[in-house]
Structure 1
Amino acid sequence: MKTLRLSTLAVLVHLATASFAAAPVAGLDRPGFDPAVRAQDDLFHAANGGWMKTTEIPADKPEYGSFIQLRDLSDQRARAIVEELAKQQLKPGSVEQKVGAFYATYLDTAAIDKAGLAPIKPALAEIDAIKTPKELATWLGKVQGRIETPVQLWVMADFKNPTMNQALTWQGGLGLPDRDYYLKKEEERFVKARAAYETYLTTLATLAGLKDPSDAAKRVMAIEYRIAEAHWDKVENRNPVKIYNPMTVTELAKAAPGLDWATFLQAAHLGQVERLSVSQPSAATAIAKLYGEVPLADWKLYFKLHSLDDAAPVLPQAFRDARFAFRGTALTGAKEQKPRWQQGITEVNGALGEAVGQLYVAKHFPPEYKARMQELVGNLLASYKESIDGLAWMTPATKAQAQDKLSKYMTKIGYPDQWRDYSKLEVRSGDALGNAQRSSRFEWDRIAAKAGKKVDRAEWGMTPQTVNAYYNPSLNEIVFPAAILQPPFFDMAADDAVNYGAIGAVIGHEISHGFDDQGSQFDGEGVLRNWWTDDDRKAFEAVGSKLVAQYESYEPLPGKHLNGKLTLGENIADLSGLQIAYKAYQRSLKGQPAPVIEGYTGTQRFFLGWSQAWREKVREERAMQLLTTDPHSPPEFRANGAAVNHDGFHEAFGTKVGDKMFKAPEDRIRIW
């Protein structure tokens, strides 16, 4: 089912996508190297070329690499836990029973097929029953958290007062991945995606028995084109100052007529809210206007088809196949659906993630892992502190503010200290769609209840079994779930050089998000404010512009260059994280020379460890989707793009003029 996400900044700044074979003693996958490629010419393919040549992307995946392999491992471990629960006779209403019943019901496709359209008919009937704009506003509020509406609601820390939670709006409502899929009419890849989407909508309408399915699809597409025209682009949404627009509900209703905002908020359990932040004011105004202009009959078609799309994974086979043909094959290039068990793990993680996570860490996250990570984080923070002191382009006044912010970082490793309470979530055996709907509403009610209350700093934004990491600017925290603390990122048996090049750079990456183009606008308390001198900010932006130009020179697909402004924050974090991890590795040696292992020096192993962590192959359709929507650069350019600016890389491999990775010292980009 659909999980709502806001912008990268609005919820979390996270690490993202990228693979790995069994590691030898030093932590390096030597069989995955390509001896025909020199690191001096292409670090990524030198460390990963052998693997790239011999590995096929599995048919059920749009991409395959380090992150995907670890996610598969995490899913397999969660599966063992969940299937054991599903077999047991557990106390009715216990969280263990809910996990097992939710998963077993999702897997019972025979029962889902037999039920036909009966489970979705009440939801469609609710839409049919809407007769007035006020009733539409009520329905929109009731489905928050379950269906992505054109104006979404969320609750998170107030950018200006991060100790308190604030409600906010966010643009949404598109069935295709981004506004560009609608607005860039000449891009051939987008033309194909739009055609596939219209076919999918027509199929949904046909399967649901709607009148004139082709016409219904066209009417829905027409609405989405108008929504897309109102949407802000991804670069605009990265600016925290632009997306922070507090106003009263009365002011919002005046600025954006066409939607009954008070009724909408009341139905979403946010009736007590007097002020909220309108993240994209012009989009909110335009979409509210659409609610008033577009015939109610068209809106009903729109929401019926979106409801069917959202529910398709727990509707009969024809719906599941149609959804995969579009969201799987057309958009990502995947050839087969993920195994049903793996889809089920994704769903149970979304519904009862911390319940599964509590069992996961008991089996797969020994205390010594956390202790080792705390040591690594300590070294990274100490190295960052020294690096700030040594900055030539920053004045003492701004350095003092940066040091203050760094000193207030909060680190979360492995799992939360307090586990989420699922006692009020109802799970019914044999009701897959109902379970999904109730879990979505349960989660939304939890989020809505936070509005106007103090921020819970102990809360986690990811489950322990999630293979990822993030920085949250409002809490000034870095978070590393248990599942990412495994090879090739972190290996208790591996050489320190490889660990620092992999998980050390990941840690450095997340620390650096507090000082990228977005995070640097928040102070040590998480307050959105300018703590820089004007000259320092100009100097920082000048360096950033060089990084934008570097990455915009990369062409991952023919005719499709990277968006350097969209990826700037992640590129800064990659570059700075690698630089800080290198300093931390040198610090860990305590003045002693690193041993040569398997013919590689310590610094060479560091950069090879960094590169193999980003190992990945991706299908063209998925690559296009990521290039349009993802603030991260493709893994190849993450590996090479950061290393080419690193003095340590050039020293380790002795690059010289003529080498493809050579970059003159005076041209190397150095930030933190």
Structure 2
Amino acid sequence: MEQPLRITYFGRLFAVLAVISVACFAIAAVIDVSSPSDRFEPSRDMRSVADGVLAAMDRSADPCDNFYEYACGSWLRSNRIPPDRTRYTKSFSVVGDMLQLMVKELLEGELQSDGGGLPSKPGLFYASCIDQMGIGGLNTLYLSPFRDHFNDLDDAPAFTRLLAQLHAVSSVALFDVGVNVDEKIPSQYALYFGQGGLGLPHRDNYFSMQDADVETREKYLKLIQNLLATAGKARLLPRQGHDMLARQVLDLETTLANATVPPEELRDPDKSYNKIKIDAMSDALAIPEYLKILGVDPNSINGSLVLDNPLFFDKIVAIMAGLSVDVDKRRVLRGYLAFHLVRSAADSGLLGESMYHEGFRFKQHIYGMKQLPEQWKKCQSLSNAYLGEAVGAAFVKKHFPETRKQMAEKLASEISKSFAGTLASQEWMDEATRQAAIEKLSAINWKVGYSSKLDTYDDLSISRASFQGNVAAAKAYLLRKALKRLGQPIDRTEWFMKPQEVNAYYSPTRNEMVFPAGILQQPFFSDAYPDAMNYGGIGAIVGHEMSHGFDDEGRKYDKNGLLTSWWSDASVAHYEDKAKCYIDLFNTYKPRDVSIFVKGNLTLGENLADKNGVNVAYRAFKSTGNNSQDGIPPPNPTLARELTNDQLFFVAYAQIWCTLYRREALKVQMMTNPHSPGQFRVQGPLSQSPAFAKAFACRNASRYNPTKKCSLWQ
């Protein structure tokens, strides 16, 4: 519930693996370990910077035919995906490895003390995890507090009370719940209910008769059986009859899947914002009882909820109706809830080593990972998840100088000026819409580096004695923190990323841009880089996030974050016509390793943001100093022998997306994720860029200089 809905994340490629997708790989190749004080920082001398760029390239490739190969070919062939990963990138993964080691050092060093001689809360949490996570056989201690609730399920209100308790501990069951700014009243918070409750990545996994999906369902059925057996040992369920119950649980999820809409349909906020009065909802859901357990005063949400898919909740009503008289219905729903509680706990390492491995074996099948991450990586990830702001404070103090923040803010200001020029030149916009867009751009709230109010977790008790107790306490704390927002003024200082995260986001409901310290690192950004590399790297990311305020979703929110129609009908029609070109373009893209094509509708917002991000960053770069001259070399002598400044800009951009994927994980991404695979995040925007074609003297009608180009945001 901590994470707000409808925040667009630049690098979220596999959100479902956020906790487990961590590992260390090839650090020695990119980290200068010669200086004890800066052993985690990448090399900064000109030769090392140049070597990092040139070594990744395959300069035998034709940049006008396959620029992805030209920029990334040698890197793709010389690297391997670490066995505990689903994908590996030259940018996000390498920086993530570096930051992971930095945070490990903090958790095992400075954060073992609070400065007054006592262990800090993050240090205690990490130590308790190292001591106890995944050790020994089955440990059902974490499940014990739920036992009485699972054995007292005689009517719908009892199930509703249990559901609220499960949602409070992050168990994904029946539907999702979250607190965010009210999109129709952006001065208030709202409580959002979203379709959910599925244990497979995509709704189609429940219906497809392709051999791979049939096999996935059989393996999932086995997982359900095994976790129901664990629930029986924990006395949440009877100890017998799990095989038949598992089949019924899968049938229940299939019913839910049939009522969900695919992710691309949820991208339209006009359709997915559906406010409903609590007293208008069916008594079968017992929403007042649900809110009471969570500690939510209905007055704090004006007696209303926001639903993303009302028809899905009609199906939930049908499932909940008749529980008081239908014993078999109660038995199946009880099994479903027990399965999701046990799965959530097992995946967090709370039930012992055997159960952790049980969940991992299924993830192996879905995502293709070869082995579990080392224990310290799991514990470091969980410490970041639950006490990440306190970890972030230590990270900023040691690893993020104020000069880097100031440099990033200056560059971001240049990108913003460039985007204002882009908006001013769009002739397909009428004057009123154009001016309103420029006003929205100028109203963006910028957050760079870290929050000024990092949480110190004063109201959270952590002990080295109990990892399970620490996780339970941390989850309860984060729930209280999220729900405390309801009924309060909007906190404009609030961040939804920690300083040490390698990511960035734009929030349409807050009209804000957020760039944590974690992404302000090489190879995205460095004071040792030529301008071309900084603008092609972090500059394109800044432009990308800024563009989300004007993509197919973000353009529906005004400068104050209000979901409203502020464009003229004519401008909307022109926009949609020009955007369709990108849908059609990306629909033609298919990676070599999978049999499905990119979904142009699902990825439209990210594709448009990539295209405009490159454009505005390039224009900002050309307006800086001597960069306006074509064909001049970069100030780095080694790079100057191989590339012009303009060429280096596009190489730096492309190398952000040098990415290796496991085939299984790539398929999941293409079905569920709004980001296109890396090679198409290069080919899509650069093939539509006249500036790219000019920089590499691409012949007309070549792959990267097609005769017909999409014209939105040129």
Partner of 1:84: 109
Pairwise CA distance, 1:445:
1.3
Distance 1:118 1:452, change over 3 A: closer
More deviation in 397-406 or 263-272? 263-272
Pairwise CA distance, 1:398:
0.8
Once residues 279 and 452 of structure 1 are traced to their aligned partners in structure 2, the CA distance between those partners, rounded to angstroms, is 21
Equivalent residues in 2 for 1:575-654, closer than 5 Å: 575-589=611-625, 593=629, 594-596=632-634, 597-654=640-697
Pairwise CA distance, 1:608:
0.2
Equivalent residues in 2 for 1:217-366, closer than 5 Å: 217-253=246-282, 257-272=283-298, 273=301, 274-292=303-321, 295-312=329-346, 313-327=349-363, 329-366=364-401
Partner of 2:519: 484
Contact kept? 1:91, 1:97, Cα under 8 Å? no
Contact kept? 2:161, 2:290, Cα under 8 Å? yes
Equivalent residues in 2 for 1:112-151, closer than 5 Å: 112-113=135-136, 116-146=139-169, 147-151=171-175
Partner of 1:16: 12
Once residues 86 and 377 of structure 1 are traced to their aligned partners in structure 2, the CA distance between those partners, rounded to angstroms, is 33
Once residues 340 and 133 of structure 2 are traced to their aligned partners in structure 1, the CA distance between those partners, rounded to angstroms, is 24
Contact kept? 1:17, 1:68, Cα under 8 Å? no
Contact kept? 1:512, 1:572, Cα under 8 Å? yes
Pairwise CA distance, 1:485:
0.8
Counterpart AA for 2:272: I
Where does structure 1 lack aligned partners over 5 or more consecutive residues?
none
Distance 1:243 1:221, change over 3 A: same
Q: Secondary structure at the match of 2:514?
A: strand
Partner of 1:57: 81
Once residues 521 and 551 of structure 1 are traced to their aligned partners in structure 2, the CA distance between those partners, rounded to angstroms, is 23
TM-score with structure 2 length normalisation?
Answer: 0.89
1:329-374 CA-to-partner distances (Å, cap 9, x unmatched) read 1111000001111111111111111000000111111111111111
Number of aligned residue pairs: 660
Once residues 514 and 220 of structure 1 are traced to their aligned partners in structure 2, the CA distance between those partners, rounded to angstroms, is 41
Pairwise CA distance, 1:403:
0.8
Q: Secondary structure at the match of 1:358?
A: helix
2:603 equivalent to 1:567: yes
Q: Secondary structure at the match of 1:246?
A: strand
Contact kept? 2:506, 2:514, Cα under 8 Å? yes
Pairwise CA distance, 1:629:
1.0
Counterpart AA for 1:269: G
Equivalent residues in 2 for 1:435-514, closer than 5 Å: 435-514=470-549
1:130-179 CA-to-partner distances (Å, cap 9, x unmatched) read 33211111122223242112122211111112121111211111111221
Once residues 147 and 682 of structure 2 are traced to their aligned partners in structure 1, the CA distance between those partners, rounded to angstroms, is 48
2:166 equivalent to 1:166: no
Partner of 1:102: 125
1:496-517 CA-to-partner distances (Å, cap 9, x unmatched) read 1011111100000000000000
Once residues 489 and 414 of structure 1 are traced to their aligned partners in structure 2, the CA distance between those partners, rounded to angstroms, is 14
Once residues 555 and 134 of structure 2 are traced to their aligned partners in structure 1, the CA distance between those partners, rounded to angstroms, is 52
Once residues 493 and 86 of structure 1 are traced to their aligned partners in structure 2, the CA distance between those partners, rounded to angstroms, is 30
TM-score with structure 1 length normalisation?
Answer: 0.94
Distance 1:619 1:354, change over 3 A: same
2:203 equivalent to 1:179: yes
Counterpart AA for 1:135: A
Once residues 509 and 675 of structure 2 are traced to their aligned partners in structure 1, the CA distance between those partners, rounded to angstroms, is 21
Contact kept? 1:200, 1:323, Cα under 8 Å? yes
2:62 equivalent to 1:38: yes
Q: Secondary structure at the match of 1:493?
A: coil
Contact kept? 1:27, 1:498, Cα under 8 Å? no
Partner of 2:213: 190
Counterpart AA for 2:73: G
Contact kept? 1:244, 1:278, Cα under 8 Å? yes
Once residues 276 and 119 of structure 1 are traced to their aligned partners in structure 2, the CA distance between those partners, rounded to angstroms, is 31
Contact kept? 1:26, 1:495, Cα under 8 Å? no
Pairwise CA distance, 1:5:
6.0
Contact kept? 1:540, 1:671, Cα under 8 Å? no
More deviation in 439-448 or 546-555? 439-448
Q: Secondary structure at the match of 2:448?
A: strand
Once residues 312 and 507 of structure 2 are traced to their aligned partners in structure 1, the CA distance between those partners, rounded to angstroms, is 25
Pairwise CA distance, 1:627:
0.7
Contact kept? 1:151, 1:173, Cα under 8 Å? yes
Once residues 110 and 580 of structure 1 are traced to their aligned partners in structure 2, the CA distance between those partners, rounded to angstroms, is 47
Q: Secondary structure at the match of 2:201?
A: coil
1:72-93 CA-to-partner distances (Å, cap 9, x unmatched) read 222111111111256558769x
Once residues 177 and 480 of structure 1 are traced to their aligned partners in structure 2, the CA distance between those partners, rounded to angstroms, is 29
Once residues 111 and 658 of structure 1 are traced to their aligned partners in structure 2, the CA distance between those partners, rounded to angstroms, is 57
Counterpart AA for 1:464: P
Q: Secondary structure at the match of 1:528?
A: coil
Contact kept? 1:28, 1:498, Cα under 8 Å? no
Distance 1:591 1:182, change over 3 A: closer
Q: Secondary structure at the match of 1:351?
A: helix
More deviation in 480-489 or 130-139? 130-139
Contact kept? 1:473, 1:519, Cα under 8 Å? yes
Distance 1:111 1:519, change over 3 A: closer
Pairwise CA distance, 1:115:
7.1
1:6-52 CA-to-partner distances (Å, cap 9, x unmatched) read 75x2x444443499964733485211111231211111111111111
Where does structure 2 lack aligned partners over 5 or more consecutive residues?
15-24, 31-42, 234-238, 324-328, 635-639
* Identity among equivalent pairs (%): 28
Counterpart AA for 2:443: K
Contact kept? 1:15, 1:468, Cα under 8 Å? yes
Counterpart AA for 1:16: R
Counterpart AA for 1:42: N
Partner of 1:67: 92
Q: Secondary structure at the match of 1:32?
A: coil
Counterpart AA for 2:516: P
1:444-478 CA-to-partner distances (Å, cap 9, x unmatched) read 11111111221100000110111100000011011
Counterpart AA for 2:642: G
More deviation in 18-27 or 371-380? 18-27
1:569-618 CA-to-partner distances (Å, cap 9, x unmatched) read 00010001011001010011356534341321111000000000111100
Partner of 2:36: none
2:694 equivalent to 1:670: no
2:419 equivalent to 1:384: yes
Once residues 606 and 591 of structure 1 are traced to their aligned partners in structure 2, the CA distance between those partners, rounded to angstroms, is 11
Contact kept? 1:105, 1:431, Cα under 8 Å? yes
Once residues 165 and 220 of structure 1 are traced to their aligned partners in structure 2, the CA distance between those partners, rounded to angstroms, is 35
Counterpart AA for 2:622: Q
Once residues 12 and 149 of structure 1 are traced to their aligned partners in structure 2, the CA distance between those partners, rounded to angstroms, is 24
Once residues 148 and 94 of structure 2 are traced to their aligned partners in structure 1, the CA distance between those partners, rounded to angstroms, is 42
Distance 1:67 1:200, change over 3 A: same
Distance 1:124 1:189, change over 3 A: farther
